[in-house]
Every structure is written in C-alpha cells, then in structure tokens.
Amino acid sequence: MLADDMGLGKTAQCSIAIAVLQISERVARTLVICPRSIVRQWQREAKRWAGLCATIVDGERKKRAMMWKHNSGLLIVTPQIVLNDAEIIAQRHFDLVVCDDISMLKNPNSKMTNAIRQIPRQRSWCLNGTPLENKPEDFVNTMQFVYPDLFSRHERNKTISPKVLKARVEPYFLRRRKQDCLKDLKEKQSFPPLEIEMSPEQARKYRRYEQQQWAEFQKNETYNDKLHIFALITRLIQVCNFDTETYASSKADAIEEKLAQILSDDQSDTKAIVFSRFVKTLDYLKEKYVGYNPILYDGSMSEKQREKAIEQFRNKGRLMLISTKAGARGLNLQMANYVFHFDRGWNPVDELQAEDRCWRMGQEKTVFVYRYMQVGTIEERIHQVLEQKRAMFDEYVDSMVEDSDGLVGAKFSMEDLINILRPSTPAEASLGDDL
C-alpha cells in the first residue's frame, strides 16, 4: 500500500513503477481500478509520467467484453464496471491490479469488495492518502486485498492495537508526509471554525425546526433507527446553511465579505474554492455570488462538463463551488489557494481531501482554509465529534510511520447521535415553543 499524503504524486509514482515492471518484462497486463471522476486523469498522468498508453474499459456490455478479451497493457476501469463484468474478468489474469481509493475495499460484505478481491492476479497494490477513514477495521479490510493472508478471520473481526498492526503491515506499507518531502511547499494555514451568529429570521426558523426534529425523533417507531436520526440531523444542517424562505444565511454573508477582500482587482492571481455537501446549497451560492461568475462542479455533471469546468477555473475563473463528495478526490487545483468549508461532513478526512486539492505538489502559495460554525446550533455538536475523529486519524494512521499507541474510537454510537440531535440547552429549546 502506498499511503503517501495527498498531493505527493501517488499516480505518477505508480505509473512509473508500472513502466519499470513492463520494461523488465515482469508485468504485461495491468488493471487500475479508480473512481469515475479520475479515470481520465489517470489516463493522462500515466501517459505524461511514464509514456503508458492506457485503455479505459467503458461503454456497452458487448463493447466491454471485446475490450477485456483483446486489450493488454494498462487497462483503467471503475469499481462498478468490475462488479458488472465480474464473470468476464474471472476468465482473465492480471500481472498487477491497482486500487486507487480504498473506500471500494473497506466493506468486506459488499458485492463490490468481493468482486475486486476475486480478480485473478499476481500482484496487488493500493493507493490512498487517507487509509483510515472511519474506523481501524477499514484498514485491516483493505490490507486483505494487498495480502489476503495477513490477518486471520478472528483478527479481522476485532480491533487490533496500533502497535500490533504496525508490526504486521510494515513490510507492505509505504507512507511519506508532505512535511518530510516537499520542503519548498508553502504552509497550509487552517483556521479554527469561525463562530458566527445566525440572523434573527434564520435563528427563528432553526429553533422551530430543531424542536420539530427532536419531537419526531422521540416517536417510539424511530427512536432506535440510526439512519432516521442521520436524516433528521442532515435536515438541521441544511437549515443552518440558509433559510429556504427568506434566503438568509449568516455563513454565506461572512464568506462573501472575505471574498470581497481576496478576489479584489488588485489580487488578480488569487482563486478561491467553496465546498459544500449539498447541491441545493451550491445552487444557492451560485446565485448569491453571481458577481464573481462562480463555476459549479458537482456529481450531476458529465465527465466532459467536469473537465470543462476545471479548465475554465484554471484559465479565467476566480471562484469555484464544489460538491465535497464529487470534488474531494482526484482533482488537481493548485491554481487556488483559498478554501472555504461551507458545511461539515461526517468524516474529517473528506475535508482534508478537499483542502489538498489545492495544497499539493505544484502549489506556490500559502493555502488558507476557513470553516464556519454557527453558535448554539447543531454545528457546534458536530464539530466536537469531528475533532475526535480527526485525532483518531492523526494518532492511528501516523503510527504506521511513528511509534504511537493512541487510538480514539470512530464509530458513531447511538448516544453520539442523540447528543448531536438534542437541542443545545433548555433555554434554547424553549425558543421553539414560543414561536
């Protein structure tokens, strides 16, 4: 597993390694599995860094069947295609299979994970800058692809201490960090969440809605339903983003003030990115920030539309609005050096991934990262949980390269979720009853 920090050129390193193995005739047929959002990028980077001509396996099933049968060399495919074509792939043999993005491997019970694991192969590589995204078991499950017999069935069903895990995986685990490699890379200044107050109208709407969600949760039929609680929390987060009736948003106003400073005419070389989990929020911000001609990038766009958006931002754009899920991985956006997280996701690693679209090899400026938190709302409770998960990543993953015994649990217990959903204080909760 190559687990270098994001932005250290894992795709380039892997492409060059594949070329070396091909030249030495140790590898002839290689399969790279990666998210659809970076398929074309993989093809370009393999050509750029190693002179490899890669074939993308895509299209109708009959066309793919012919491609599997007659193409050799380097093939690039998405996890979904691997699942759809599992029977065809089972009849082929690869000298090397590379998984770029371990999220496709962390669930041992999923059909996709099993389809990937069953690919006939001689060698198995993984690329990922964040090998521990949610819990330590994810890392163990991923290593099952790299070295299937590394952990016993019993070990795979329990939490292994960092010290034991380090000793077991060390021969198969490579990790470099930016601070060790890119001595000339400008620093990343990540500021603590800026605490802001909701506007009066937005606050009234939020308090009323908070009480409604809490009352719905307390219904007997939904009390122990985690997915339902997640849905209730998500609705509250969206209300924190902006009021759908008045379109008031303290966060949007605060960011707009900052944009006015950094995107002024006398700072023409500055570019900024705003990340949000919600497409509706991005649509709202596109209208609100229309004066900056923002460029939108979300999961509903085709590959060509995404490539066009990136090219526009690279050439003349000043502001880009990106869906965290669609744009947190695989993009090279070193032309920007201001990052705004409009809302928070459940995984702090997603935020790091998003920030490192800018803070990576080739960045010549200091990267500034801003987060916003509305006081007295669910955003404060989420922030506390996210900081715990961030601590787990720092202590657990870096124990692969340092001796560290720390481990912070990352699962969201029912108690965690209830405490996040619960109105902040009795005084605040009573506001909703008066409206």
Look up the domain containing 371 and give its range.
184-199+249-375
Backbone angles phi, psi at 32, to 5 degrees: -110, 125
Do 123 and 194 lie in a common domain?
Answer: no
The pLDDT > 70 percentage for the chain reads 86
| Residue 184 identity | D
If one counts the domains in the chain, the total is 2
Q: Rounded CA gap, 319 and 314, in Å?
A: 10
Which residue, of 327, 343, 375, is where some domain finishes?
Answer: 375
**CA angle at 57 for the pair 51 and 63, rounded to the nearest 5°:** 130
Do 17 and 163 lie in a common domain?
Answer: yes
In a domain, 221, yes or no: no
In a domain, 161, yes or no: yes
On whether the CB atoms of residues 404 and 398 are closer than 8 A, the answer is yes
Do 289 and 168 lie in a common domain?
Answer: no
Task: Name 227's Cβ contacts closer than 8 Å, sequence gap at least 6.
Answer: none
Do 147 and 188 lie in a common domain?
Answer: no
For the whole model, what pTM was predicted?
0.66
Which residue, of 177, 209, 239, is where some domain finishes?
Answer: 177
Task: Name 314's Cβ contacts closer than 8 Å, sequence gap at least 6.
Answer: 335
Q: What pLDDT, in 10s, does the model give residues 52-78?
A: 999 999 999 999 999 998 888 999 999
For residue 357, pLDDT beyond 50: yes
Do 119 and 253 lie in a common domain?
Answer: no
CATH of the domain at 95: 3.40.50.10810
Q: What pLDDT, in 10s, does the model give residues 227-258?
A: 788 888 888 888 899 988 888 899 999 999 99
Do 165 and 191 lie in a common domain?
Answer: no
Residue 428 burial by CB count (10 A; 0-12/13-18/19+): exposed, middle or buried? middle
In a domain, 408, yes or no: no
Which DSSP category does 104 fall into? G
In a domain, 229, yes or no: no
